[in-house]
Amino acid sequence: MTRPARILVWTLATLLTLLAILVVVIATFDWNRVKPLLNEKVSEALHRPFAINGNLAVHWRTEPEEGGWRAWVPWPHFIAEDLTLGNPEWLKEPKMVGLERVEFRLAPLPLLFQQISIPRIDLTRPTASLTRLADGRANWTFDFGPKDENAEPSKWQLDIGAIGFDQGNVSFDDQTLKTSMKVQIDPLGKPIPFSDIVGKASADKAGGAQDYAFGLKAQGRYKGQPVAGTGKIGGLLALQDASQPFPLQADVRIADTHVVLAGTLTDPRNLGALDLRLRLSGASLGNLYPLTGVTLPDTPAYSTDGHLNANLHAPQGATFNYQGFNGKIGDSDIHGDLAFVASQPRPKLSGNLVSNQLLFKDLAPLIGADSNAEQKARGGASKQPSGKVLPVEEFRTERWRAMDADVTFAGKRIVHSAQLPFTDLSAHVILDDGLLRLEPLRFGVAGGNLAAKVRLDGRNVPLQGRARLTARGFKLKQLFPTFAPMQTSFGELNGDADISGRGNSVAALLGTANGDLRMLINDGAISRSLMEIAGLNVGNYVVGKLFGDED
């Protein structure tokens, strides 16, 4: 053997020996010795107390599934037990995150190319306690110190594959939202196909959304209201791809409101966009205000079923479109499209609504004209005094300045007793910085038309109201069907009114009303009802006829 050959052989032998010694040392090294240094460095980087309180170990194993010569390269498998991450100093509770065990394996060859590749991380019984104080400080926000603007970006890349865990528990306490909840997260074992929850057509439209991988159970309070619900979400792998739809499903009750949804969230890490089937039901639409900040009228019990699309990063503000929904409000059907834009200076609600068969009694809560029992069922606080027809329930004008609105409504057929035959209704509702306008508000009545322009200015205390009404072509025999002398009459009633008042309820507005009223009746007899109108008891007459005068 030549001298160069002997040198090469000895060099290779030495390197192999050193490598073998290194592997033996690493394999037998007690990694618990580096825990104090590791805990200190991580705590300094996060500005939070971090600790591996249990065992820290590294095992070297080959990966046969790699194939070829790579299958002979050993991979380090890291195992750490009893990990804790503390809270910032301004929180009394010491622990923010806890883990019984963390295990992951690291691919060694990509390190040569400045890539940290971790195919899988397994977490055992993770727990987290998330807190935000009333002053806005949140423990999930970390202070990493000032950023060096001149520092070059790191060339190292982190690639994490799957993340698996068994049961996890998260508590959430947000004083700014008056929200406190506990959420339990469980792996579903075998994933549930996305199409089994939303249906095949919706699944095809979602374009390859992952199956459901985790189940959720939540209980607590949201904005002061009791909440309980269940849900399902996709696997954590989907969180890496912002373009991949992330599946979610939930069935939640918040006080008397029931929310059922199923669909996808795009770019879940940044809350990009929503595409959901959404079903809502509850005692009154007005009860959604404390939950959503959307000003809706008081109504009887309701239910809706429609499609919700949302772009949470639209330039004009987050946009929500509730499209093609169908439902019921009381015993009346309701259909339409609504759009809500979280714009500045105020959000805005717009849309078009239609009812094919509208029961007049279902409009009573709009002005507080429903019975005391019905008011109690929808959460109303006032009580109508016995013997009074005009509603005393006050308008909640403080909500009128929370948003703007531009909504049209059409009631194609009105169902009512024959005492006052309304046939149809259309309205254009405009809410602008506390000023509520119904322009126009139109009824089909007794073969004629009642057109009105109503303005209620909630910016003033008490509320200022004005109504201008035009009645044309009311057929007397249809207007007063129970008054026998009218049944052979071909007469008509026409009239105009311009009335103003002040007050925060219908009773207060009409009790202070002043204005002009003109009526023309041809070819008809005078009834007691007409005498009531002539005596300017218009409010009592209309409310009594429409909604009844019984408690």
The verdict on residue 313 lying in a domain is no
The predicted structure's pLDDT at residue 435: 93
The predicted structure's pLDDT at residue 96: 96
The verdict on residue 96 lying in a domain is no
CA-CA-CA-CA dihedral for 118, 123, 127, 128, to nearest 10 = 10
Q: pLDDT for 195-230, tens place per residue?
A: 555 555 454 554 555 778 889 999 999 999 999 999
* Residue 106 tokens, joined: 């690291």
The verdict on residue 254 lying in a domain is no
Residue 389, C-beta contacts closer than 8 angstroms, at least 6 positions apart:
539, 540, 543, 544, 549
The predicted structure's pLDDT at residue 543: 47
The predicted structure's pLDDT at residue 507: 83
Strands 273-282 and 422-432: unpaired
Q: Other C-beta atoms within 10 Å of 148: how many?
A: 7
Q: Are 329 and 322 in contact (CB under 8 A)?
A: no
The predicted structure's pLDDT at residue 535: 46
The verdict on residue 260 lying in a domain is no
* Residue 363 tokens, joined: 């409009």
The predicted structure's pLDDT at residue 205: 53
The predicted structure's pLDDT at residue 231: 95
If you write DSSP's letter for every residue of 286-353 in order, what string do you get?
Answer: GGGHHHH-------SSEEEEEEEEEETT-TTS-EEEEEEEEEEETTEEEEEEEEEE--SSS-EEEEEE
532 half-sphere exposure, CB direction, 13 A CA radius = 12
3-state class of 441 per DSSP? Answer: strand
The predicted structure's pLDDT at residue 329: 95
CA angle 54, 107, 30 (to 5 degrees): 30
Tokens 């995150």, residue located: 97
User: What range does the domain containing 367 cover?
Assistant: 339-551
3-state class of 544 per DSSP? Answer: helix
The predicted structure's pLDDT at residue 182: 97
The count of structural domains within the chain is: 1
Q: Other C-beta atoms within 10 Å of 508: how many?
A: 20
Q: Other C-beta atoms within 10 Å of 42: how many?
A: 16
The verdict on residue 316 lying in a domain is no
pTM, to two decimals: 0.80
Residue 422, C-beta contacts closer than 8 angstroms, at least 6 positions apart:
360, 414, 416, 443, 444, 445, 546
Alpha-helical segments (H) within 104-206 = 194-198, 200-206
- Bridge partners of 321, per DSSP, are 309, 339
3-state class of 106 per DSSP? Answer: coil
Distance from C-alpha of 485 to C-alpha of 420, rounded to nearest angstrom: 17
* Residue 420 tokens, joined: 């006052």
| Below-70 pLDDT ranges, the chain | 1, 3-6, 9, 15-16, 19-20, 22-28, 145-148, 190-209, 236-243, 268-270, 368-372, 374-376, 378-389, 417-420, 481-490, 523-551
User: Chain-centre distance of CA 339, in angstroms?
Assistant: 14
Distance from C-alpha of 172 to C-alpha of 184, rounded to nearest angstrom: 11
The verdict on residue 186 lying in a domain is no
Distance from C-alpha of 411 to C-alpha of 331, rounded to nearest angstrom: 13
The verdict on residue 26 lying in a domain is no
Q: Are 233 and 213 in contact (CB under 8 A)?
A: yes
Q: Are 77 and 59 in contact (CB under 8 A)?
A: yes
Q: Other C-beta atoms within 10 Å of 441: how many?
A: 19
Q: Are 243 and 268 in contact (CB under 8 A)?
A: no
The verdict on residue 362 lying in a domain is yes
Q: Are 365 and 378 in contact (CB under 8 A)?
A: yes
Distance from C-alpha of 164 to C-alpha of 501, rounded to nearest angstrom: 66
Q: Which residue type sits at 211?
A: D
Q: First vs last Cα of the chain: how many Å apart?
A: 116
CA angle 429, 546, 489 (to 5 degrees): 110
Closest C-alpha among 496, 497, 478 to residue 488: 478
